[in-house]
Amino acid sequence: MSEKVCFAKCSCFISERRVCAMIVIYVLLALAALAIAAFAVKMARSILARRYYEKQGVSFVTTYPFIGSEVDVTDLIGRNKTRDYLYTEEKKSDFVGSIRGFDIQLYAINKETTEKLINPSNFGVTIDRDTPALYSFGQLSPAALTFTPIQTKFFHERKANILKGFDIERMDRVSRRLAEEYCDRISGDANLDMKQVVADWTREVMGEFVWGRAAMDAVVPYKDEAGREFRVPFMRALNETFTRLRFYSNRFWNRVYFPIATWPVTREARYLQFNIKALQDHLAVSLTEEPARDSVSWDVMKGNEELGIPMHVTRDDLLTVSIAGLDTVQSMTLATLWYLLLPENSGWKQEIRTGAGEDREEVVEACINEAIRIDPPGSVINNKVIKDFDLQGPGGTYHLRKGTRIMPNIHALHAVYGAEYRPERFLETRSKKDLYVMPFGKGKRSCPGRTIGMLMAKNLVGEFIARNPDTVILNIEDEHIRFNNLSRSKLMLDLSHSEEKVHEVA
C-alpha cells in the first residue's frame, strides 16, 4: 500500500516537472516569436521609410534591411577609409541615404542642404543631437556635451565654460615646449614610427593643458587587449581606452546594431568596461580636490559649480575635452606630414623652412587645412529629426520624418575639389572664399577645440619640418595610406640625413 502511494507521488512529481518545463519552453518560444515579429515589423518599417525617401528623390547607396551598407563599409575600413567615403561618389541628389540598424540615415552632400541643417531655425528645433558614438567612446563620458541635445538646460553655458578654459597662449607655450623636446628626442632616428611619437606628444600636451602638469603623474589600473592588468598614467589609460572603444564599436555587428558594443559579451568589451570604471573611479576622487589653477579643469569646474551642474556632468565634459583632441590632432598632424614629405610637394616644405613670421604661419596652416580637406580626421556628429518638417533643397522639397538620422557629409563636400594636394587653395583670398569646407563642423555644434587643435598641429609640423627637411618616408610603398581617426596606417620615417643637412646649412 505504502509503495503504491509512493509511486503515485513520484509520477505526479515527474509530471509536474514536465508541465513546468513545457511552460518554460512555451514561454521562451512565445518570447522568441514576439522578438521575431517585432524584428520583422521594424525591418518592414525601415524598408517603407526608405521607399518614402526614395520617392522624394533621395538616392540610396547599396543597402540591405538591418545590415544596411555595412558590408561595403567593411571594405572601406580595410583600405583605411571610413564610412563617410561611401557617400562621396553620389552627386545626383541633395541627400544620400543608407540604413543603420532600423533607422534611415540621410547625408547632406551639398552646400545648400548642409546650410539648412545647421541653420539655427532648424538646429535644436527640428533636428538635434542623437549619435551612435554614445555606444562607442560615449561609454566613457555619456553625460558629456558631445552627446547632449542642444535643448538641454545649461548646454550653452557648458560649452562657454569649456571655451573659457581654452587659453590660447598657454596652449602655444605647452605645445611649443613639448614639440621642441620631442624633436630633440627623435633627432637622427633612421627608423622612426612617427605615429607613436605624435600619439605620445598629443597625449602629453592635452593632459597638461586640461589637468595641469602635476596631474600627469597620477596612475590608474588598466587592462590591455590581452587582459593583462597594469598601473599606467591616467592620460595613457584614457587615450588607449578611448581609441580601443572606437575601434571596438567599429566591428561589423556593433556597427549594425550599436548597443551591442556595450554588451559584456566579448573579452574586449569586458576589459574596456573595467578601464572605464577605473578612470571614472579615479576622477570621482580627484575631482573632489582643488583643480590646478592654470588648467582647463579650473575653468570648467568653477564655472559649472556656480551653475549647480552635477559633478558627473562636469567629469564627463572634462573627459570629453581630454580625449577630443587626441586622435583628431594626431591624424591631422600625420596627414600633413605625409603630404609635405612626399617628393612632389617639396616646394611647400621649402616654403616652410625658409619662411618667417606670419607668412610662414599662414603657409603651415594652409598645408594643414589642405591635408584635412582631403583627409578629414572625423566627421560631424550624428543628429536626428526630432519633429517632422519640410526642407527646401536645390532638388526640391523634402518631407523629413521624426526619427530619421541626418547630418552633413564632410567628405562629400570636400571631395568636390578633387584629391590633389594644393595648399594654395587656402592662401589666395578669392579661392578661400569659394571653398566650402568644414573639417571642424559648422554652426552651433561646431568644434570648440578648433583653434587650440590647429595651434598644436602648427607647432609640431613647423618644428619638425624646420629640423628635418630631408626626411625620407620609409613606408611610401605601403598600400592605402590615409590618416583619420579609424586608420591603421603608419608613418615610418628616416631622419638620419636631415640633421647633416641642417648642420651644413648652419
Q: Per CB under 6 A, which of residues 129..148 are in contact with ligand HEM?
A: 145-146
User: Which C-beta is closer to ligand HEM: that of 45 or that of 312?
Assistant: 312
Asked whether position 329 contacts ligand HEM by CB under 6 A, the answer is yes
The residue type of 421 is Y
CA 148 to each of CA 144, 163, 305: distance values in angstroms, whole numbers, following the listed order: 6, 17, 18
CA 36 to each of CA 50, 182, 341: distance values in angstroms, whole numbers, following the listed order: 21, 57, 55
CB nearest ligand HEM: which residue? 449
Smallest distance, ligand HEM to C-beta of residue 455, A:
9
Residue 241 burial (10 A CB sphere; 0-12, 13-18, 19+): buried
The Cα 155–Cα 278 span in angstroms is 27
x/- map, 199-238, ligand HEM, by CB under 6 A:
----------------------------------------
Choose, by CB under 6 A, the member of 309, 386, 452, 460 that binds ligand HEM.
452
Partnered with residue 406 across adjacent β-strands are 106, 383
Partnered with residue 66 across adjacent β-strands are 101
**Residue 506: which residues within 8 A CB-CB, separation 6 or more?**
none
Smallest distance, ligand HEM to C-beta of residue 146, A:
4
Q: Per CB under 6 A, which of residues 354..413 are in contact with ligand HEM?
A: 377-378, 380-381
> From the CB of residue 274, how many other CB atoms can be counted at a distance below 10 Å?
17
Choose, by CB under 6 A, the member of 108, 178, 283, 324 that binds ligand HEM.
324
393, 365 Cβ separation under 8 angstroms: no
Smallest distance, ligand HEM to C-beta of residue 145, A:
5
Asked whether position 453 contacts ligand HEM by CB under 6 A, the answer is yes
Q: Which stretch binds ligand HEM (CB under 6 A): 270-278, 302-310, 318-326, 472-480?
A: 318-326
211, three cell numbers? 589637468
Smallest distance, ligand HEM to C-beta of residue 454, A:
6
The Cα 441–Cα 435 span in angstroms is 14
Q: Which stretch binds ligand HEM (CB under 6 A): 90-98, 355-363, 419-427, 444-452?
A: 444-452
Smallest distance, ligand HEM to C-beta of residue 51, A:
29
Half-sphere exposure at residue 167, Cβ-oriented, CA atoms within 13 angstroms: 18
Q: Which stretch binds ligand HEM (CB under 6 A): 90-98, 174-182, 220-228, 324-332?
A: 324-332
31, three cell numbers? 518570447
Give the strand order in the sheet containing 405-408: 59-60, 95-100, 103-108, 405-408, 383-385, 127-129
x/- map, 262-301, ligand HEM, by CB under 6 A:
----------------------------------------
Q: Per CB under 6 A, which of residues 90..109 are in contact with ligand HEM?
A: none
Q: Which stretch binds ligand HEM (CB under 6 A): 23-31, 265-273, 326-334, 423-431?
A: 326-334
User: Which C-beta is closer to ligand HEM: that of 380 or that of 437?
Assistant: 380
Half-sphere exposure at residue 446, Cβ-oriented, CA atoms within 13 angstroms: 17
Instruction: Please give the helix or strand (H or E) that residue 22 lies within, else none.
Output: helix 2-55
Helices (H), 296-356: 296-307, 311-324, 327-341, 346-354
Q: Per CB under 6 A, which of residues 422..441 are in contact with ligand HEM?
A: 439-441
User: Which C-beta is closer to ligand HEM: that of 63 or that of 485?
Assistant: 485
Residues that bind ligand HEM (CB under 6 A): 145-146, 159, 320-321, 324-325, 328-329, 332, 377-378, 380-381, 439-441, 445-449, 452-453
